[in-house]
Amino acid sequence: MNLLIDICHPAHVHLFRNFIKIMKERGHNIYITVKDIPSAKALLKIYGIRYIEYGKKSDSIIGKTLRQLQYDNSIKNIVNELGIELGIGTSITIAHVSKLTKMKSLVFDDDDSSVEPLFTKFAHPFADYLISPDVLKYERTKPSHICYPGFHELAYLHPKRFTPDEKVIESIGLNKNDRYFILRFNAFKAHHDIGVKGLSMDQKRKLVETLSEYGKIYITTEDKIDHDFEKYQLKSKPDEIFSLLYYATLFVGDSQTMTNEAAVLGTPSLRLNSFVGKISYLEQQEKKYKLAFGFRPTEFNEMIAKIRELLDNHNIKEDWQKKRKIMLNDKIDVTGFLVELIDSYPDSLKYMNNNADYFEKFR
């Protein structure tokens, strides 16, 4: 089968990289498209994944709208030229092009419709199939909506797909018993980020001041790092971040994706931004599995108090690994599911609908 995967964010390289490798081994032709996103292209190169670049991103709503028409036309031409049968991705473009060509689309979306109203409005109606975590079942109710027991992050951080490497932390002068913290500061440039607040500069300074009392600090940012924090900048390779997250004492930031990455690895994760209370998969991590904590922008002092409380627990890593095990028992190896779903498409859809125990094989 000729498959196209459209990459819209660096995290989606991780979402699909294991799938790409396995499907190529099974004889499928896989083509990857990506916009001019330096961090995404860098990851694709690290993993040896060839790609077709087809346009630049815009930060403004008007720019995004105008460029969407260009994206649709570019991908339509690629689909027709390569004879693509199935388009996969977290992509409005894939959904649109499936209505302009013979290609069918499987669109992956793990966000609530209230958080991404434009994506819901302009992608969902055009997708042949919408695939989401089952925590979103309450609003993904059409027959063409497939809900699975997992998170995007379990496509690459499930124990079947990821083993932490102690050599990574040794390379920055640490060992697995050292107390250290990973901080992530987001840029908030996506269309759904308009009006969203994360950590302010004063809050970042206070956070660093607080954590420096307990251990070493490493900061990763979506944009250029602020001058105040240059000495804390994490200089590891992009593909090493997950081992660093696994062994870290805490993760703190204002990023949704990295909050959940830390949580599924069993590292206590705290985030502060305007999305708190609005994202179902993180609400599940916080309320059901107790792996993460969310704070609104006005609750910074409460977050600092929770950090101090957590760091008073010297068995925190062991406690969180027990919580992680409970979470993993409920979830699946998402890559295994994707491989079977698409390798056997469309028969897999019929089998899934007629088999109540379909997901058990992926646990």
> Percentage of residues in the chain with pLDDT exceeding 70?
97
Q: Would you say residue 224 has pLDDT above 90?
A: no
| H or E stretch covering 208 | helix 201-211
Domain ranges of the chain: 2-158+332-355, 166-330
Exposed e or buried b for every residue in 164-181, given b needs 16+ CB within 10 A? beeebbeeeebeeeebbb
Phi and psi at residue 24, to the nearest 5°:
-65, -40
Domains 2-158+332-355 and 166-330 share a fold: yes
CA proximity to 175, closest of 216, 207, 212: 216
What's the confidence (pLDDT) of residue 58? 74
Is the previous residue joined to 346 through a cis bond, with omega within 30 degrees of 0? yes
Residues in the chain: 363
What's the confidence (pLDDT) of residue 195? 53
What's the confidence (pLDDT) of residue 192? 42
Question: Mean of the pLDDT values across residues 289-302?
Answer: 97
Q: 166-330 has which fold?
A: Rossmann fold (3.40.50)
Q: Would you say residue 191 has pLDDT above 50?
A: no
What's the confidence (pLDDT) of residue 225? 84
Higher pLDDT, 325 or 59: 325
What band does 177 get if pLDDT is binned at 50, 70 and 90?
confident
Q: Which CATH superfamily is domain 2-158+332-355 in?
A: Glycogen Phosphorylase B; (3.40.50.2000)
Paired with 53 in beta bridges are: 34
- Alpha helices per DSSP H over 83-171: 92-97, 117-122, 166-170
For the CA atoms of 318, 321, 322, 323, the dihedral, rounded to the nearest 10 degrees, stands at 130
Q: Would you say residue 222 has pLDDT above 80?
A: no
Q: What is the mean pLDDT of the chain?
A: 93
What band does 189 get if pLDDT is binned at 50, 70 and 90?
very low
What band does 193 get if pLDDT is binned at 50, 70 and 90?
very low
What's the confidence (pLDDT) of residue 63? 76
Q: Would you say residue 77 has pLDDT above 90?
A: yes
Question: Mean of the pLDDT values across residues 218-246?
Answer: 88
Question: Mean of the pLDDT values across residues 263-281?
Answer: 97
Q: Would you say residue 169 has pLDDT above 50?
A: yes
- pTM to 2 decimal places: 0.94
Q: For tokens 């994490």, what's the residue?
A: 234
> What region does 266 belong to: left with phi over 0, alpha with psi -120 to 50, or beta?
left
Q: Would you say residue 123 has pLDDT above 90?
A: yes
